[in-house]
């Protein structure tokens, strides 16, 4: 079979690019541990507000963990609890969130924090806020008529 020279080059380029990106993906996922926020932890969605840590939403100082604080959020149509929270600048914070009703999003504008909150599952993400200021938390999963009103604020203070 005769193949044009440019076609050969293009095929080699395509295959090499595919192998390159699969390698990058593999190294990132298995060597550097970049995996989606865990959905391994579960909670009964009907009893979220009665169970720890969701019975006390907000910021809690913790000892003996890799992070300094745990920031607990409970989402429901169409609010986050807490609606506003202050976080000390530079602190390592583990965000722990879930929802009591439908799927909500949890995206913090201007950061890498972007989680899906699913009923029955606990979403977690460890982040350090190195920049002072106010960060808007937004719901980026359509959840009903009040979806566009759903927000919270994380204020990073010195
Ligand atoms: Cu909650 Cu959209």
Distance CA 72, CA 99 (A): 11
What CATH number matches the domain at 38-157, 3.90.180.10, 3.40.50.11540, 2.60.40.420, 3.40.50.9100? 2.60.40.420
Task: Quote the ligand 1 centre to 105 CA distance (angstroms).
Answer: 6
Q: Is the pLDDT of residue 21 over 80?
A: yes
Ligand 1: which atom is nearest the Cα of residue 148?
2
Ligand 1: which atom is nearest the Cα of residue 141?
2
Task: Quote the ligand 1 centre to 156 CA distance (angstroms).
Answer: 23
Distance CA 116, CA 125 (A): 11
Give residue-wise pLDDT tens across range 45-85. Answer: 888 888 889 999 999 999 999 999 999 999 999 999 999 99
Structure confidence at residue 26 (pLDDT): 94
43 contacts 54 by C-beta, under 8 angstroms: yes
Q: Is the dihedral of CA 43, 48, 52, 56 positive or negative?
A: positive
Q: Is the pLDDT of residue 29 over 80?
A: yes
Structure confidence at residue 39 (pLDDT): 53
Task: Quote the ligand 1 centre to 125 CA distance (angstroms).
Answer: 19
Ligand 1 pocket list (CB less than 6 A): 78, 104-105, 139, 141-143, 147, 150
Enter the pTM of the model: 0.76
Map out the domains of the chain as residue ranges. 1-35, 38-157
């Amino acid at each position: 079979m005769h193949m044009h020279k440019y076609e050969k080059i293009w095929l080699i380029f395509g295959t090499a690019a595919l192998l390159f990106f699969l390698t990058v993906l593999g190294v990132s996922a298995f060597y550097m541990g970049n995996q989606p926020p865990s959905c391994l932890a579960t909670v009964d969605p009907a009893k979220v507000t009665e169970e720890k840590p969701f019975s006390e939403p907000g910021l809690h100082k913790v000892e003996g963990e890799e992070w300094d604080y745990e920031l607990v959020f409970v989402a429901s149509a169409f609010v986050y609890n807490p609606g506003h929270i202050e976080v000390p600048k530079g602190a390592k914070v583990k965000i722990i969130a879930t929802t009591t009703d439908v799927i909500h999003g949890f995206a913090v504008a201007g950061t890498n924090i972007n989680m899906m909150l699913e009923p029955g599952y606990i979403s977690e993400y460890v982040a350090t806020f190195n920049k002072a200021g106010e960060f808007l938390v937004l719901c980026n999963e359509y959840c009903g008529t009040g979806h566009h009103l759903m927000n919270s604020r994380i204020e990073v203070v010195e």
